Amino acid sequence: MTDTLIMFALATVVTLVSTVFWRWVSSISQIQDKNGSQIDDVAADVAALKAEVYRDYQSKSESRHDNTQILDMLREIKTDVTRLGDKMDKKADK
């Protein structure tokens, strides 16, 4: 009877340990699935951000072209201000 009781106790302990182990494995699996979905969400956000950057931000060549236009306009303004100053000097001399 003692051997039977020991075998029964041992079987009960093994069953409890295996139950705890499989619960632990199941929780890890759920956490892994959750992490996988979060990684997919982050990847989608990064892809959307890349598309936004590509759509909204200007390239180097566009930036250089805009800078060239701005510099040309500033040169025109400088020329106009110089002419205006010359005219005012002529008018003041009269």
The helix (H) or strand (E) run that includes residue 28 is: helix 2-56
Tell me the CA distances in angstroms from 77 to 28, 53, 82, 91, one per residue in order: 69, 34, 8, 21
Return the DSSP state at 93.
Answer: H
Gap between the Cα atoms of 18 and 10, Å rounded:
12
pTM: 0.49
Question: Do the Cβ atoms of 66 and 58 come closer than 8 Å?
Answer: yes
What's the confidence (pLDDT) of residue 79? 95
What's the confidence (pLDDT) of residue 94? 67
Tell me the CA distances in angstroms from 92 to 4, 84, 87, 88, one per residue in order: 124, 12, 8, 6
Could you tell me what percent of the chain has a pLDDT over 70? 98
Each residue of 15-53: pLDDT tens digit? 999 999 999 999 999 999 999 999 999 999 999 999 988
